[in-house]
Amino acid sequence: MFVTMPTLKQLKNEYLEYLEIERNRALKTIENYGRYLERFIHFASSTAGEDVADLNEDVIRQYRLWLNRFKDSETGEPLKRITQNYHIIALRNFLKYLVKRQIKSVAPERVELGKQEDRQVSFLEPSELERLLDAPEGSDLPALRDRALLATLFSTGMRVSELCSLNRDMVSVERGELSVRGKGGKVRPVFVADDAAKHLQEWMKARSDLDQALFIRIPRNQRFGSYEDLRLTPRSVQRIVKGHAIAAGIVGKKVSPHTLRHSFATDLLRNGADIRSVQAMLGHSSVTTTQIYTHVTDKGLKEVHQKFLKGGKR
Protein backbone atom coordinates (compact mmCIF):
# COMPACT_ATOMS: atom_id res chain seq x y z
CA MET A 1 0.00 0.00 0.00
CA PHE A 2 1.42 3.39 -1.02
CA VAL A 3 1.60 5.95 1.79
CA THR A 4 1.99 9.65 0.97
CA MET A 5 4.77 11.24 3.01
CA PRO A 6 3.78 14.53 4.69
CA THR A 7 5.45 17.68 3.39
CA LEU A 8 7.99 19.59 5.46
CA LYS A 9 5.32 22.17 6.24
CA GLN A 10 2.90 19.51 7.50
CA LEU A 11 5.62 17.91 9.59
CA LYS A 12 6.53 21.31 11.04
CA ASN A 13 2.91 21.88 12.12
CA GLU A 14 2.77 18.40 13.70
CA TYR A 15 6.05 19.09 15.49
CA LEU A 16 4.73 22.35 16.97
CA GLU A 17 1.63 20.50 18.18
CA TYR A 18 3.93 17.89 19.74
CA LEU A 19 5.82 20.65 21.58
CA GLU A 20 2.55 22.08 22.89
CA ILE A 21 0.78 18.86 23.93
CA GLU A 22 3.46 16.34 24.80
CA ARG A 23 6.39 18.54 25.79
CA ASN A 24 4.33 21.30 27.42
CA ARG A 25 6.64 23.97 26.03
CA ALA A 26 5.84 27.64 26.56
CA LEU A 27 3.71 29.26 23.85
CA LYS A 28 6.46 31.84 23.23
CA THR A 29 8.96 29.03 22.62
CA ILE A 30 6.58 27.34 20.18
CA GLU A 31 6.01 30.64 18.41
CA ASN A 32 9.78 31.20 18.03
CA TYR A 33 10.40 27.64 16.81
CA GLY A 34 7.59 28.04 14.30
CA ARG A 35 9.14 31.25 12.94
CA TYR A 36 12.65 29.78 12.70
CA LEU A 37 11.42 26.59 10.99
CA GLU A 38 9.19 28.53 8.60
CA ARG A 39 12.26 30.42 7.43
CA PHE A 40 14.16 27.16 6.88
CA ILE A 41 11.29 25.44 5.06
CA HIS A 42 10.81 28.45 2.78
CA PHE A 43 14.52 28.28 1.89
CA ALA A 44 14.54 24.48 1.47
CA SER A 45 11.40 24.50 -0.69
CA SER A 46 12.82 27.16 -3.02
CA THR A 47 16.18 25.41 -3.44
CA ALA A 48 15.43 21.67 -3.20
CA GLY A 49 11.78 20.79 -2.70
CA GLU A 50 8.91 20.59 -0.24
CA ASP A 51 9.31 16.92 0.65
CA VAL A 52 11.36 15.59 3.53
CA ALA A 53 13.10 13.28 1.03
CA ASP A 54 14.57 16.38 -0.63
CA LEU A 55 16.27 17.40 2.61
CA ASN A 56 20.00 16.64 2.79
CA GLU A 57 23.17 17.99 4.38
CA ASP A 58 23.99 20.17 1.38
CA VAL A 59 20.63 21.99 1.68
CA ILE A 60 21.38 22.65 5.36
CA ARG A 61 24.90 23.85 4.51
CA GLN A 62 23.49 26.29 1.93
CA TYR A 63 20.87 27.45 4.45
CA ARG A 64 23.54 28.19 7.06
CA LEU A 65 25.48 30.18 4.49
CA TRP A 66 22.30 32.10 3.62
CA LEU A 67 21.65 32.86 7.31
CA ASN A 68 25.19 34.13 7.73
CA ARG A 69 24.83 36.46 4.73
CA PHE A 70 21.27 37.56 5.55
CA LYS A 71 20.71 41.30 6.05
CA ASP A 72 17.61 42.99 7.43
CA SER A 73 15.69 44.77 4.65
CA GLU A 74 15.14 47.89 6.79
CA THR A 75 18.33 48.24 8.85
CA GLY A 76 20.80 46.35 6.67
CA GLU A 77 22.03 44.60 9.82
CA PRO A 78 23.13 40.93 9.62
CA LEU A 79 21.81 38.25 11.95
CA LYS A 80 23.83 37.93 15.14
CA ARG A 81 25.61 34.63 15.53
CA ILE A 82 23.49 33.77 18.56
CA THR A 83 20.32 34.36 16.49
CA GLN A 84 21.68 32.14 13.73
CA ASN A 85 22.24 29.44 16.34
CA TYR A 86 18.64 29.78 17.54
CA HIS A 87 17.57 28.89 14.00
CA ILE A 88 19.90 25.88 13.96
CA ILE A 89 18.78 24.68 17.40
CA ALA A 90 15.16 24.72 16.18
CA LEU A 91 16.15 22.79 13.04
CA ARG A 92 18.18 20.23 15.00
CA ASN A 93 15.32 19.61 17.43
CA PHE A 94 12.93 19.24 14.48
CA LEU A 95 15.26 16.58 13.01
CA LYS A 96 15.26 14.77 16.37
CA TYR A 97 11.46 14.73 16.15
CA LEU A 98 11.67 13.15 12.70
CA VAL A 99 13.94 10.44 14.14
CA LYS A 100 11.34 9.83 16.86
CA ARG A 101 8.71 9.48 14.13
CA GLN A 102 11.03 7.06 12.25
CA ILE A 103 11.07 9.40 9.26
CA LYS A 104 14.34 9.14 7.40
CA SER A 105 16.16 12.46 7.09
CA VAL A 106 19.44 14.15 8.04
CA ALA A 107 20.81 12.87 11.36
CA PRO A 108 20.50 15.70 13.94
CA GLU A 109 24.01 15.05 15.30
CA ARG A 110 25.35 15.98 11.85
CA VAL A 111 24.15 19.55 12.41
CA GLU A 112 26.59 21.47 14.61
CA LEU A 113 26.11 24.89 16.19
CA GLY A 114 28.39 27.67 15.03
CA LYS A 115 30.89 29.24 17.40
CA GLN A 116 29.33 32.43 18.70
CA GLU A 117 30.74 35.61 20.12
CA ASP A 118 30.87 36.08 23.90
CA ARG A 119 27.74 37.66 25.31
CA GLN A 120 28.07 41.18 26.65
CA VAL A 121 26.63 41.60 30.13
CA SER A 122 25.22 45.00 31.04
CA PHE A 123 24.76 45.62 34.76
CA LEU A 124 24.44 48.59 37.10
CA GLU A 125 27.10 49.73 39.52
CA PRO A 126 25.95 50.10 43.18
CA SER A 127 25.57 53.89 42.93
CA GLU A 128 23.49 53.61 39.73
CA LEU A 129 21.37 50.87 41.24
CA GLU A 130 20.67 52.98 44.33
CA ARG A 131 19.58 55.93 42.20
CA LEU A 132 17.31 53.74 40.08
CA LEU A 133 15.59 52.10 43.06
CA ASP A 134 15.04 55.53 44.63
CA ALA A 135 13.78 57.13 41.40
CA PRO A 136 10.00 56.62 41.96
CA GLU A 137 9.06 59.56 44.21
CA GLY A 138 5.88 60.23 46.13
CA SER A 139 3.23 58.16 47.87
CA ASP A 140 0.63 57.82 45.12
CA LEU A 141 -0.24 54.47 43.53
CA PRO A 142 2.15 54.71 40.54
CA ALA A 143 5.09 55.51 42.83
CA LEU A 144 4.22 52.70 45.26
CA ARG A 145 3.86 50.24 42.38
CA ASP A 146 7.08 51.25 40.67
CA ARG A 147 9.14 51.13 43.87
CA ALA A 148 7.83 47.62 44.56
CA LEU A 149 8.35 46.55 40.95
CA LEU A 150 11.96 47.75 40.70
CA ALA A 151 12.89 46.33 44.11
CA THR A 152 11.31 42.97 43.28
CA LEU A 153 13.10 42.70 39.93
CA PHE A 154 16.48 43.37 41.54
CA SER A 155 16.07 41.41 44.78
CA THR A 156 14.79 38.26 43.03
CA GLY A 157 16.60 38.34 39.69
CA MET A 158 13.48 37.02 37.99
CA ARG A 159 12.73 37.40 34.29
CA VAL A 160 10.26 40.09 33.28
CA SER A 161 7.82 37.44 32.01
CA GLU A 162 7.96 35.74 35.42
CA LEU A 163 7.30 39.04 37.18
CA CYS A 164 4.29 39.78 34.97
CA SER A 165 2.79 36.35 35.64
CA LEU A 166 2.79 36.82 39.45
CA ASN A 167 -0.51 36.99 41.30
CA ARG A 168 -1.10 38.62 44.65
CA ASP A 169 -1.80 35.31 46.40
CA MET A 170 1.58 33.95 45.27
CA VAL A 171 3.51 36.42 47.44
CA SER A 172 4.04 36.04 51.16
CA VAL A 173 5.89 39.10 52.44
CA GLU A 174 6.14 37.47 55.87
CA ARG A 175 8.11 34.50 54.52
CA GLY A 176 9.96 36.57 51.94
CA GLU A 177 9.70 33.71 49.49
CA LEU A 178 7.60 32.64 46.53
CA SER A 179 7.69 30.11 43.71
CA VAL A 180 7.83 31.09 40.06
CA ARG A 181 7.37 29.02 36.94
CA GLY A 182 10.24 29.75 34.58
CA LYS A 183 11.35 28.53 31.18
CA GLY A 184 10.28 25.01 30.29
CA GLY A 185 7.64 25.10 33.03
CA LYS A 186 10.28 24.60 35.74
CA VAL A 187 9.31 25.86 39.19
CA ARG A 188 11.98 27.39 41.43
CA PRO A 189 11.99 29.24 44.75
CA VAL A 190 12.57 32.99 44.64
CA PHE A 191 13.60 35.02 47.68
CA VAL A 192 12.45 38.57 48.34
CA ALA A 193 14.78 40.93 50.22
CA ASP A 194 13.47 42.87 53.23
CA ASP A 195 13.33 46.21 51.38
CA ALA A 196 11.43 44.67 48.47
CA ALA A 197 9.02 42.94 50.88
CA LYS A 198 8.35 46.28 52.58
CA HIS A 199 7.63 48.00 49.24
CA LEU A 200 5.38 45.11 48.15
CA GLN A 201 3.43 45.32 51.39
CA GLU A 202 2.89 49.09 50.96
CA TRP A 203 1.81 48.60 47.34
CA MET A 204 -0.67 45.82 48.07
CA LYS A 205 -2.11 47.64 51.10
CA ALA A 206 -2.79 50.77 49.03
CA ARG A 207 -4.67 48.96 46.25
CA SER A 208 -8.46 49.09 46.01
CA ASP A 209 -8.89 47.00 42.83
CA LEU A 210 -9.90 43.34 42.68
CA ASP A 211 -7.45 42.24 39.96
CA GLN A 212 -5.51 39.12 40.93
CA ALA A 213 -2.28 40.28 39.22
CA LEU A 214 0.50 41.51 41.49
CA PHE A 215 1.52 44.35 39.16
CA ILE A 216 -1.14 46.23 37.22
CA ARG A 217 -1.60 49.30 35.07
CA ILE A 218 -3.22 52.19 36.87
CA PRO A 219 -6.00 54.22 35.20
CA ARG A 220 -5.39 57.97 35.02
CA ASN A 221 -8.24 58.68 37.44
CA GLN A 222 -7.04 55.79 39.67
CA ARG A 223 -10.58 54.40 39.78
CA PHE A 224 -10.82 50.71 39.01
CA GLY A 225 -14.59 50.10 38.90
CA SER A 226 -15.01 49.58 35.14
CA TYR A 227 -11.60 48.13 34.34
CA GLU A 228 -10.73 44.46 33.88
CA ASP A 229 -7.53 42.53 33.21
CA LEU A 230 -5.11 45.19 34.39
CA ARG A 231 -2.03 42.95 34.45
CA LEU A 232 1.14 44.68 33.22
CA THR A 233 2.76 43.31 30.08
CA PRO A 234 6.54 42.82 29.69
CA ARG A 235 6.57 45.79 27.32
CA SER A 236 4.90 47.99 29.95
CA VAL A 237 7.49 46.95 32.55
CA GLN A 238 10.28 47.76 30.09
CA ARG A 239 8.87 51.27 29.67
CA ILE A 240 8.62 51.75 33.44
CA VAL A 241 12.22 50.66 34.02
CA LYS A 242 13.53 52.78 31.16
CA GLY A 243 11.63 55.86 32.37
CA HIS A 244 13.04 55.63 35.88
CA ALA A 245 16.56 54.99 34.57
CA ILE A 246 16.36 58.26 32.63
CA ALA A 247 15.01 60.05 35.72
CA ALA A 248 17.90 58.59 37.75
CA GLY A 249 20.40 60.10 35.32
CA ILE A 250 21.82 56.78 34.16
CA VAL A 251 23.34 57.55 30.76
CA GLY A 252 25.35 55.50 28.32
CA LYS A 253 23.61 52.27 29.29
CA LYS A 254 20.48 50.63 27.94
CA VAL A 255 18.63 49.81 31.17
CA SER A 256 15.94 47.14 30.96
CA PRO A 257 14.37 44.56 33.31
CA HIS A 258 17.09 42.15 32.17
CA THR A 259 19.73 44.67 33.28
CA LEU A 260 18.37 44.28 36.82
CA ARG A 261 18.58 40.49 36.45
CA HIS A 262 22.22 40.85 35.38
CA SER A 263 22.83 43.23 38.30
CA PHE A 264 21.31 40.70 40.72
CA ALA A 265 23.63 37.93 39.53
CA THR A 266 26.68 40.19 39.46
CA ASP A 267 25.99 41.46 42.98
CA LEU A 268 25.66 37.91 44.34
CA LEU A 269 28.92 36.74 42.76
CA ARG A 270 30.82 39.85 43.83
CA ASN A 271 29.77 39.19 47.41
CA GLY A 272 30.99 35.60 47.41
CA ALA A 273 28.01 33.50 46.26
CA ASP A 274 29.00 30.30 44.46
CA ILE A 275 28.04 29.96 40.83
CA ARG A 276 25.82 26.88 41.36
CA SER A 277 23.65 28.78 43.84
CA VAL A 278 23.35 31.70 41.44
CA GLN A 279 22.43 29.26 38.67
CA ALA A 280 19.59 27.89 40.80
CA MET A 281 18.31 31.36 41.74
CA LEU A 282 18.33 32.52 38.11
CA GLY A 283 16.63 29.34 36.91
CA HIS A 284 19.33 28.50 34.36
CA SER A 285 19.18 24.90 33.14
CA SER A 286 22.94 24.89 32.54
CA VAL A 287 25.75 26.45 34.58
CA THR A 288 27.36 27.41 31.26
CA THR A 289 24.72 30.14 30.90
CA THR A 290 25.51 31.48 34.37
CA GLN A 291 29.23 31.62 33.62
CA ILE A 292 28.75 34.72 31.44
CA TYR A 293 28.95 36.70 34.70
CA THR A 294 32.26 35.34 35.97
CA HIS A 295 34.53 37.48 33.77
CA VAL A 296 33.24 40.65 35.46
CA THR A 297 33.11 39.29 39.00
CA ASP A 298 36.25 37.19 39.42
CA LYS A 299 37.92 38.88 42.41
CA GLY A 300 40.85 36.51 42.28
CA LEU A 301 41.90 37.67 38.82
CA LYS A 302 41.58 41.32 39.86
CA GLU A 303 43.77 40.76 42.93
CA VAL A 304 46.44 39.06 40.79
CA HIS A 305 46.34 41.97 38.35
CA GLN A 306 46.68 44.59 41.10
CA LYS A 307 49.50 42.67 42.81
CA PHE A 308 51.33 42.40 39.48
CA LEU A 309 51.11 46.15 38.87
CA LYS A 310 52.08 47.13 42.43
CA GLY A 311 55.13 44.89 42.16
CA GLY A 312 56.50 47.25 39.53
CA LYS A 313 56.34 44.71 36.70
CA ARG A 314 55.26 45.79 33.24
pLDDT score at 1: 47
Instruction: Round to whole Å and give the CA distance between 256 and 245.
Output: 9
Lowest mean pLDDT segment, chosen from 94-98, 116-120, 151-155, 224-228: 116-120
Is 64 among the residues known to form the active site? no
Is 183 among the residues known to form the active site? yes
Nearest CA to 258 among 285, 288, 214, 292?
292
More confident residue, 188 or 125: 125
Is 258 among the residues known to form the active site? yes
Instruction: Round to whole Å and give the CA distance between 305 and 136.
Output: 39
The one catalytic residue in 159, 199, 244, 262 is 159
Is 293 among the residues known to form the active site? yes
Give me the mean pLDDT over the 121-142 stretch.
Answer: 92
Radius of gyration over every alpha carbon of the chain, rounded to an integer in angstroms: 24
Lowest mean pLDDT segment, chosen from 58-62, 78-82, 160-164, 201-205: 78-82
pLDDT at 303 over 70: no
pLDDT score at 306: 58
The one catalytic residue in 181, 217, 258, 270 is 258
Nearest CA to 287 among 304, 265, 302, 309?
265
Nearest CA to 150 among 269, 257, 283, 263?
257
Architecture category of domain 126-301 in CATH: Orthogonal Bundle (1.10)
Give me the mean pLDDT over the 11-32 stretch.
Answer: 91
Give me the mean pLDDT over the 116-136 stretch.
Answer: 84
pLDDT score at 99: 93
Highest mean pLDDT of the ranges 47-56, 213-222, 255-264: 255-264
Is 159 among the residues known to form the active site? yes
pLDDT score at 313: 46
pLDDT score at 117: 60
Give me the mean pLDDT over the 23-47 stretch.
Answer: 90
Q: Is the dihedral of CA 149, 150, 151, 155 positive or negative?
A: positive
pLDDT score at 100: 93
Global confidence as pTM: 0.68
The one catalytic residue in 81, 96, 183, 217 is 183
Instruction: Round to whole Å and give the CA distance between 71 and 128.
Output: 36
The one catalytic residue in 92, 147, 261, 262 is 261
Residue boundaries of the structural domains of the chain: 8-110, 126-301
The one-letter amino acid code at 76 reads G
Q: What is the pLDDT of residues 194-241, one digit of tens each?
A: 999 999 999 999 998 889 999 999 988 778 876 678 999 999 999 999
Is 262 among the residues known to form the active site? no
The one catalytic residue in 15, 33, 97, 293 is 293
Architecture category of domain 8-110 in CATH: Orthogonal Bundle (1.10)
Residue 310's pLDDT band (cuts 50, 70, 90): low
Residue 288's pLDDT band (cuts 50, 70, 90): confident
What's the chain's average pLDDT? 86
Beta strands in the chain (DSSP E): 177-181, 187-191
Domains 8-110 and 126-301 share a fold: no
Give me the mean pLDDT over the 123-146 stretch.
Answer: 94
Instruction: Round to whole Å and give the CA distance between 307 and 94.
Output: 52
